Amino acid sequence: MIETVPPGFIFILGAILIPILRLRGKLRQLYLLLIPVVGFIDLLYLEPGTSWIYRFLGYDLVFARVDRLSLAMGYIFVIIGFLAVLYSLHVEEDGQHVAAFLYVGSSLGVVFAGDYFSLFAFWEIMAVTSVFLIWYRREKESLDAGFRYVLMHIFGGCSLLTGIIIHIASHGFTPVGPLAGGWTSVFILMGFGLNTAFIPIHTWLPDSYPQGTVTGSVFLSVYTTKTGVYALARCFSGTDMVAYMGGIMAVYGILYALLQNDTRKLLSYHIISQVGYMLAGIGVGSALGVNGGIAHLVNNILYKSLLFMCMGSVIYVTGKRKLTELGGLAGLMPLTCITCIIASLSISGGPGFNGFVSKGMVISSAAGAHRPILELMLILASVGTFLSFTKLCYFTFFAKNETIEAKEPPFNMQLAMILTASSCVFIGIYPRVLFNVLPSPVHYHPYTFSHVVGVFQLFLLAGLVFMAARAALSPHEGIVLDFDYFYRTTCRGIVWLCTTPLNGLRLRTQGFFSREVRGIIGLSRNPISMPEIAIKHVHLKMLKLLRGSVRSPEERMRELEEMRSRLDEIRKMAYDENAYRGPMGLGILLAMIFLFLYGLIYFTAS
């Protein structure tokens, strides 16, 4: 009998050992590949039920809650973890691998968490570790985007924690499951919704994912949003709001994807759109809907990571990421081109590819649940997906560009793309393998004559419009404003408020008190003279009272001018954040030390 552990722990331990073992060359590559393999074997032996329960502060923390849903998620997370590690084997930097493994491990931790506290803990580890996959690109845009990513996820994390605390206070310590409603649901939904990129709190996704490292973006495209979908499937299945949010996301994502010039930004908007399909299925809540949502999640992980691999390879080889700079790569990178076409047909839902199966399930579930608007939104998004990927493939691989130079990426990247593309085709041809791992038994037949003909008609007519209106869909330089415009403007307003009026007030107050303190210091140097100074001061005041001002009008004017110029100086004083970093950092460090000591004493005493 093999003793199993929560799969996330294997990845986390594996990550910790990377800098300790300091392996190099083939041995290191073998070690990196071995971790997901061990994780997969562990998954095979996991028994349904709950285990790894630890009592903490009177609560039972459950680290291994195993059922069909968590197992389905676990399998796809570990499989794609293996493929993404294979894709990034050539990366020499240990830190990137550590961040990636911690990210995968914490995502698996969320999936197998049986209670809200451990779910929250892994949720936050996931947010913190994933940002390093953006920062490791070491460009200014990546650093900035990473900070915005962290800020948004802190907001989501705080919202989630608030919801969890309210839930525990009102309902006690319950397993992760359907919620009763009220403020608990609002806060928890907002926390989960941020990770799944609900509109309009989705802006972190297209902002940060294109800024990740070539290999890091492959990991990013998989885990954060999908753990969010999983959490929604657990807690908000059958919620109308989730279903319609899914429909809105599906259309909104497509609309913005069609406007993009940056290839990875285009793919990021497609993540929003595809997550929309999953949420639509989960929100409908029928067996077909939830199965469809989870099936689409599994398929999406495969083709979306493949698309990020393909575009990552293009960026890795050419150094170019904009459609306006690309083109003519079909002959130079035939394997990347073929795998990208497979991924595009899969995401579009072409017959014979995995997306065809799951997209059909979700759309059928919307019709089955009598949601006409939702069905039309999802069909519109299907048309848009096909248009968008026709555009991506055409302008990357087939458009004329005689100046571009490229070759196929390293072998490990090619192998990862081939394996992932094969998985897309395999599930498309033999969907039973997918149906067997879904949460409930599946009674759905994707390959009916009308479904196949319907999808062909949809694509062919959309393709015809693309041919006729190619100029309207051709990429353009520049960016397209999204909701982040409002967030950035508001944040800039807050920074202005802090740095100009509030900082000015602070400087004036500081100046006033500094003068008083200086006076007191002067007095304290010679305390014996204090009575005499006091008498003179009173004398002066008396004289002022009796004779008016002792100063001439010129002196008063000069003094007034000095005060005005000082005020102007204060107003013009540039805000230098570095001047405040030290004391702020020290303050935070001290607070953390005190918190740690407080916790230590509390736990030791209890």
Partner 1 sequence: MVRHLKKLFLLVVIVCIPLGFLTEHEHAVFPWHTIPSMDAIFGALGALLLIGAIKIVGSFASREEDFYD
Cα(578)–Cα(232) distance, integer angstroms: 41
Cα(214)–Cα(317) distance, integer angstroms: 11
Q: In whole angstroms, what separates CA 598 from the centre of its chain?
A: 33
Of the candidate spans 161-169, 313-321, 372-380, 518-526, the one that interacts with partner 1 by CB under 8 A turns out to be 372-380
Q: What is the largest CA-CA distance in the chain?
A: 107
Q: List the interface residues with partner 1, window 441-460 (CB under 8 A).
A: 448-451, 453-460
What would the 3-class secondary structure string for 204-238 be? HHHHHHHHCCCCHHHHHCCHHHHHHHHHHHHHCCC
The encoded tokens of residue 365 equal 């579930």
Cα(219)–Cα(274) distance, integer angstroms: 16
Q: 168 vs 376, which CB is nearer to partner 1?
A: 376
Q: 258 vs 278, which CB is nearer to partner 1?
A: 258
Q: Kindly report whether the peptide bond that precedes residue 527 is cis, defined as omega within 30 degrees of 0.
A: no
* Out of 2, 467, 521, 546, the residue judged to bind partner 1 by CB under 8 A: 467
* Out of 331, 334, 410, 463, the residue judged to bind partner 1 by CB under 8 A: 463
The answer to whether residue 380 forms part of the interface with partner 1 (CB under 8 A) is yes
The answer to whether residue 368 forms part of the interface with partner 1 (CB under 8 A) is yes
The answer to whether residue 253 forms part of the interface with partner 1 (CB under 8 A) is no
Q: What DSSP character marks residue 324?
A: T
Cα(273)–Cα(490) distance, integer angstroms: 26
Q: 186 vs 380, which CB is nearer to partner 1?
A: 380
Cα(385)–Cα(456) distance, integer angstroms: 14
Q: List the interface residues with partner 1, window 312-341 (CB under 8 A).
A: none
Q: Is 116 left (phi over 0), alpha (psi -120 to 50) or beta?
A: alpha
* Out of 338, 473, 567, 570, the residue judged to bind partner 1 by CB under 8 A: 473
Q: 9 vs 466, which CB is nearer to partner 1?
A: 466
Q: 47 vs 477, which CB is nearer to partner 1?
A: 477
* Out of 7, 39, 253, 384, the residue judged to bind partner 1 by CB under 8 A: 384
The answer to whether residue 352 forms part of the interface with partner 1 (CB under 8 A) is no
Count of beta carbons in the 10 Å neighbourhood of residue 379: 17
Cα(205)–Cα(268) distance, integer angstroms: 6
* Out of 367, 415, 419, 567, the residue judged to bind partner 1 by CB under 8 A: 367
* Out of 158, 180, 479, 595, the residue judged to bind partner 1 by CB under 8 A: 479
* Out of 71, 229, 259, 309, the residue judged to bind partner 1 by CB under 8 A: 259
* Out of 17, 143, 168, 379, the residue judged to bind partner 1 by CB under 8 A: 379
* Out of 2, 481, 545, 579, the residue judged to bind partner 1 by CB under 8 A: 481
| In the complex, least distance from residue 476 CB atom to partner 1, rounded to whole angstroms | 7
* Out of 3, 92, 477, 576, the residue judged to bind partner 1 by CB under 8 A: 477
| In the complex, least distance from residue 335 CB atom to partner 1, rounded to whole angstroms | 22
Give bridge partners of residue 61 from the DSSP assignment: 54
Q: For residues 48 and 66, is the Cβ–Cβ distance under 8 A?
A: yes
* Out of 13, 154, 255, 425, the residue judged to bind partner 1 by CB under 8 A: 255
Burial (CB count within 10 angstroms: exposed 0-12, middle 13-18, buried 19+), residue 169: exposed
The H or E element spanning position 52 is strand 49-56
Say whether 260 sits in a helix, a strand or coil.
Answer: coil
Total binding residues toward partner 1, as defined by CB under 8 A? 47
Q: Please, which residues have CB within 8 angstroms of residue 445's CB and are 6 or more apart in sequence?
A: none
The answer to whether residue 400 forms part of the interface with partner 1 (CB under 8 A) is no
| In the complex, least distance from residue 382 CB atom to partner 1, rounded to whole angstroms | 8
* Out of 370, 400, 432, 525, the residue judged to bind partner 1 by CB under 8 A: 370
Q: 460 vs 538, which CB is nearer to partner 1?
A: 460
Which spans in 209-333 are helix H? Answer: 216-220, 223-235, 240-258, 263-284, 287-318
Of the candidate spans 184-192, 368-376, 556-564, 566-574, the one that interacts with partner 1 by CB under 8 A turns out to be 368-376
Say whether 64 sits in a helix, a strand or coil.
Answer: strand
* Out of 21, 180, 469, 589, the residue judged to bind partner 1 by CB under 8 A: 469
Cα(106)–Cα(129) distance, integer angstroms: 9
Q: 275 vs 462, which CB is nearer to partner 1?
A: 462
Interface residues with partner 1 (CB under 8 A)? 254-256, 258-259, 364, 367-368, 370, 372, 375, 379-380, 382-384, 387, 448-451, 453-467, 469, 472-473, 476-482, 488
